[in-house]
Amino acid sequence: MLPVNPTFENLTPEVVAKTIDHALLRPDMTTQDVISGCQLCAQYKTASVCVRPSDVSLAAKELKDTGVLVGTVIGFPHGTTTTQAKVAESLQALDDGAVELDMVINIGRLKSNDINYVRNDIAAVVQASKKRLSQCCIKVILECCLLTDDEKIKACGAAQDAGADYVKTSTGFSAGGATLEDLRLMRQCTDPSRVRVKASGGVRSLDELIACLQAGADRIGASATAAIVDEMRSRKQSQ
């Protein structure tokens, strides 16, 4: 469990690992790359692995009984698929063994100020997914680098109203990733008893991870998991 004010001094390598959703989303990854990534997650005991939809069954098999959760992405990376397609993709992912779903909002509809569409799009995924698997976790990707602060606030409100579990900064496949300013804004405009915050995109070092936690993040999407956790262990041992 995260301390109220996470710092290097009060964090442990184990707690740091449990903040990480290890990302295996590059389009050129082979099946062996996915298997190796899942083995790394099992070794480091991350919170979860986030794989491409077609890799969910494979990841679920590799991570069975390890305590590492399996997640995937929905409407990725642009968020422009129809609501019905996002729902179908979500239900397929749950049937394949995922328990966490990171869905991309419809960015164009948000920028058109069609907040009802954005809210209903999220709510449809939340309601259908939780009906299929009540304990599943829905994270809503805003793609903050494409949004104004006002749009970020509206997106957070839509996600909260729709019953999402997390708001997330980025896909990691657009013009920018997580920033501390965005994390603070997302934390300020959501109810922490209802919605958590995930930082994703560009978090590659231990100091960056800790800074994200201090800015309000609860989870970190990263691919540099081994480097981050190993750095934590090394620095703790040298104290």
pLDDT at residue 114 is higher than 90: yes
pLDDT at residue 161 is higher than 90: yes
Catalytic residue among 18, 86, 139, 198: 198
- As a whole number of angstroms, the distance between CA 170 and CA 147 comes to 11
Residue 1 in domain? no
Catalytic residue among 86, 139, 152, 168: 168
Residue 239 pLDDT class (50, 70, 90 cuts): confident
Instruction: Look up residue 210 and give its amino acid.
Output: I
The stretch 216-239 carries a mean pLDDT of 96
Query: Residue 84 sits in a domain of what CATH number?
Result: 3.20.20.70
- As a whole number of angstroms, the distance between CA 1 and CA 72 comes to 23
Percentage with pLDDT > 70 across the chain? 100
Residue 25 in domain? yes
* pLDDT given for residue 127 in this prediction: 98
Please indicate whether residue 18 is annotated as part of the active site.
no
Residue 2 in domain? no
Which pLDDT tens digit goes with each residue over 22-60?
999 999 999 999 999 999 999 999 999 999 999 999 999
Residue 7 in domain? no
Please indicate whether residue 168 is annotated as part of the active site.
yes
How many folded domains does the chain comprise?
A: 1
SS3 letters for the chain? Answer: CCCCCCCCCCCCHHHHHCCEEEEECCCCCCHHHHHHHHHHHHHHCCCEEEECHHHHHHHHHHCCCCCCEEEEEECCCCCCCCHHHHHHHHHHHHHHCCCEEEEECCHHHHHCCCHHHHHHHHHHHHHHHHHHCCCCEEEEECCHHHCCHHHHHHHHHHHHHCCCCEEECCCCCCCCCCCHHHHHHHHHCCCCCCCEEEEECCCCCHHHHHHHHHCCCCEEEECCHHHHHHHHHHHHHCC
The partner residues of 196 in beta bridges, in order of sequence, read 166
* pLDDT given for residue 9 in this prediction: 96
Rounded (10°) angle between helices 180-188 and 206-214? 30
Phi/psi at 105 (5° precision)? -65, 165
* pLDDT given for residue 1 in this prediction: 82
Residue 4 in domain? no
Q: Which domain holds residue 194?
A: 13-237
The stretch 162-186 carries a mean pLDDT of 97
* pLDDT given for residue 154 in this prediction: 98
